[in-house]
Amino acid sequence: MLRHVALSSLRCASRRASTLSVKALSALPSLCRSNGAVLASRNSPLQTMHFSTDAPAPPQMTENEFMELADETLHDIQSWLDGIEEMIEESDIMFSQGVLKIDLGEHGTWVINRQVPNRQIWWSSPVRYDSHRGGFYV
């Protein structure tokens, strides 16, 4: 008898919990899942939609396209810095094999280079922020 009462209480509690969770979910405007979407509104019951295929990935630039664009960007930076070598002694700006090295003597050296596998341009700087000192340092 005690076992019957316990099972009955458990069933009642689980039904109540599932009803409450559906009500809580239906209060949300929408939820997303990896293979579909769960749509809910206050006026309609919970609906689940599944899609047969994943969304197409955005087109990626080819390696050659990236290298051309990266080199063009690095050349633009180099031409923008044209004339700085006359203004700062011991400075040197060189571009070679996808790497732009900007050496400004006592002001530090910056390296800007292309990372072809990641389709990114990286920048290495002598300037850093030190949170303990509360400022930027070279």
Tell me the per-residue pLDDT of 11-39, one tens digit each, with 9 for 90 and over.
444 444 444 444 444 444 444 444 444 44
Whether the CA torsion 86, 88, 94, 99 is positive or negative: it is negative
Q: Which structural domains are found in the chain, ordered by start? A: 2-50 (no CATH), 63-127 (3.30.920.10)
Quote the longest CA-to-CA distance of the chain: 97
As a whole number of angstroms, the distance between CA 53 and CA 50 comes to 9
pLDDT digits (tens, 9 = 90+) for 53-99: 776 767 788 999 999 999 999 999 999 998 888 888 889 999 999 99
pTM over 0.85: no
Residue/partner pairs of 103-111 with CB below 8 Å, 24 or more apart: 107/138, 108/138
